[in-house]
Amino acid sequence: MAHPDTLLLIDGEWRPAAAGEWIAVENPATEAVIGRVAHARAADIDAAAEAAARAFPAWAATPAIERAALIRGAARLLRERSDAIAATITAEQGKPLAEAKHEIQIGAGVLDWFSEEAMRLYGRTIPARGPGVLPLTIRQPVGPVAAFAPWNMPINQVVRKVAAALTAGCTLVIKAAEETPAASAEVLRAVADAGVPAGVVNLLYGTPAEISERLIAHPAIRKISFTGSTKVGKQLAALAGTHMKRVTMELGGHAPAIVCADADLDKAATLLGHAKFRNAGQICMAPTRFLIEDSVFEPMVARLVAHAGALKVGDGTEPGVQMGPLANGRRVSELTTLVADALAQGATLRLGGERLGNVGHFFAPTVLADVPTTARIMNEEPFGPVIIANRFSTLSDALAEANRLPYGLASFAFTGSLATAHTLAHGIEAGMLTVNQLGLAVPETPFGGVKESGYGSEGGPEALDPYLVTKFVSLGI
């Protein structure tokens, strides 16, 4: 397919970077350079922030019902353009076309849901302490937002930030991933084409540290939203703190998946296998540490091996492919190192564990068993298609391992006992738990973590709180 150059969007204009610089874009399935993206520098960053500041008063004053209609219009355009956008996602990021189309449909659904929330940004009245007084609160947009989105979900991670900001009445500058620029740009294109005024949404690409340092410090910016690694998130949160700016941080995870002896093993293996290998495991909420009760350990591992071994791996454009490549060669090298370290420390390899082929960043679906907690992969998020299967004897042991790490984003459990589910619901240190199903990341539910997995939510009504200022007004009547 023809892959267009991706431009910056600043003040309603799609344009190259002021300095004329470009970054190459690679297809991870072929390692071929397929395009380029404009490389923003200081002048572009400042121009985008200033455009968002100029557009803010009018957008904040736009009636909620009008904002909602424009956001729904963007959702409609995403759906209408889904075939072309899906092909772009697969070319840049590698996931199979079916997954890419599903991501677009989810993204459109997020826009639709948030558009409805625009009509429910309620304040409240407060009982007065005496006659002739009306105490009340009103909720107002905080101001221009700086948002940073990763490459693994080039539509949905951008959509969540755009939808929340626009719904609340904020303008924004979003720095999207250089690995997947054309895909992410389609979200902004749909918003602009739906009629959102110039300057309300702005899009940058470039050197991540350069953009984040300048944009977060810019006096026009009032709020920060970041999705990415814990290491980078800490740096950006610290920078935002020096300027007293609000932050939402959706960071890394290392999700436990607890499988009890009374669980439906077939259902658990199918659902957890799907969640693990979707997007080649490159999802922050993917199950990673599979904690399986002793008495069903071998039957469950056998099911997981069978599921993983049946996956068709290849170029996402090919019919029947269920898992595409990793995003880049660095991911392949890192996974190779993590698997080798686990094996050296006594883990057993049940499946995979190696790069596939000589062209493209493909890594085999992998199952490791009996991995010691000293192994790096038990402590560092692998972010790839690797299942770590370990045993537990008691529920207390499973909870202790689930909570051992400083991360706490997603968690999974399969059990036939309501009492066990209740214990896990109260005992797991995570922002999200799903039991006997895959019930995470739908638009109306909270999406966020605890501990070093961040703070704030990217979903549900909770996602809007950091974009809004609650102002108290006491009226003498």
Residues forming the active site: 250, 284
Specify whether the CB–CB gap between 254 and 373 falls below 8 A. no
Flag whether 3 is in a domain: no
Query: How many CB atoms sit inside 10 A of residue 396's CB?
Result: 11
Cα separation, 383 vs 331, whole angstroms = 8
Query: What is d(CA 92, CA 344) in angstroms, rounded to the nearest whole number?
Result: 35
106 and 140, same domain (yes or no): yes
Question: Count of alpha carbons within 13 Å of 434, Cβ hemisphere only?
Answer: 20
In a domain, 448, yes or no: no
Question: DSSP labels for 369-433?
Answer: ES--TTSGGGTS---SSEEEEEEESSHHHHHHHHTTSSEES--EEE-S-HHHHHHHHHH--SS--
Predicted confidence at residue 1, as pLDDT, reads 54
Give burial (CB, 10 Å; 0-12/13-18/19+) of 445: middle
Query: Which is nearest to 155 in space by CA: 199, 111, 207?
Result: 111
Inside any domain, residue 79: yes
The CATH number that applies at residue 42 is 3.40.605.10
C-alpha distances (whole Å) from 425 to each of 252, 355, 460 are 21, 38, 19
Query: Cα–Cα distance between 127 and 447 in angstroms, integer?
Result: 33
Q: What is the CATH number of the domain that holds 363?
A: 3.40.309.10
Same domain, 214 and 336: no
In this structure, is residue 2 part of a structural domain? no
Domain that holds residue 340: 255-443
| Three-state DSSP state, 40 | strand
What distance in Å separates the CA atoms of residue 461 and residue 471, rounded to the nearest whole number? 18
State the virtual CA torsion across 233, 238, 239, 242 in degrees, nearest 10.
160
Residues 211 and 283 in one domain: no
Residue 417 and residue 278 in one domain: yes
Query: 394 with 270: CB under 8 angstroms?
Result: no
Closest CA to 304 of 339, 352, 268: 268
Per-residue pLDDT of the chain (477 residues; tens, 9 = 90+): 568 899 999 999 999 999 999 999 999 999 999 999 999 999 999 999 999 999 999 999 999 999 999 999 999 999 999 999 999 999 999 999 999 999 999 999 999 999 999 999 999 999 999 999 999 999 999 999 999 999 999 999 999 999 999 999 999 999 999 999 999 999 999 999 999 999 999 999 999 999 999 999 999 999 999 999 999 999 999 999 999 999 999 999 999 999 999 999 999 999 999 999 999 999 999 999 999 999 999 999 999 999 999 999 999 999 999 999 999 999 999 999 999 999 999 999 999 999 999 999 999 999 999 999 999 999 999 999 999 999 999 999 999 999 999 999 999 999 999 999 999 999 999 999 999 999 999 999 999 999 999 999 999 999 999 999 999 999 998
Cα-based distances in Å from 240 to 115, 156, 252, 465: 28, 24, 19, 17
Same domain, 211 and 322: no
Check whether residue 273 and residue 247 sit in a common domain: no
**Residue 24 CB coordination number (10 Å):** 10
> Could you tell me whether strands 348-351 and 287-293 are parallel, antiparallel, or unpaired per DSSP bridges?
unpaired
Residue 472 included in any domain: no
Q: Is residue 149 one of the residues assigned to a domain?
A: yes
Q: What is the pLDDT of residue 2?
A: 65
Same domain, 235 and 269: no
CA 400, 405, 407, 411 dihedral sign is negative
**Both 143 and 190 in a single domain?**
yes
Can you tell me the distance from the alpha carbon of 142 to that of 60, in angstroms, rounded to the nearest whole number? Answer: 9
pLDDT of residue 418: 98
475 within domain boundaries: no
By the 8 A CB rule, do 441 and 459 touch? yes
What sign does the CA torsion over 429, 430, 434, 438 have? negative
Cα separation, 93 vs 88, in Å, equals 8
φ/ψ bin of 51: left (φ > 0), alpha (ψ from -120 to 50), beta (otherwise): alpha
Q: How far apart are CA 148 and CA 173, in angstroms?
A: 9
CB 227 within 8 A of CB 458: yes
User: Is residue 259 domain-shared with residue 245, that is, in the same domain?
Assistant: no
Phi and psi dihedrals of 295, rounded to 5?
Answer: -65, -20
Q: For 244, what's the count of Cα atoms within 13 Å in the CB-facing half-sphere? A: 0
> Which residues partner with 313 through β-bridges?
323
Counted domains in the chain: 2
One domain, residues 396 and 333? yes
Residue 316 to residues 350, 363, 381, 382, Cα–Cα distance (Å): 26, 14, 24, 22
- Using CA atoms, how far residue 286 sits from 28, 343, 461, in Å, is 21, 22, 23
Whether residue 295 sits in one domain with residue 230: no
Together in a domain, 243 and 276: no
End-to-end CA distance of the chain: 66
CA–CA gap between residue 328 and residue 312 (Å, rounded)? 19
**387 domain-assigned:** yes
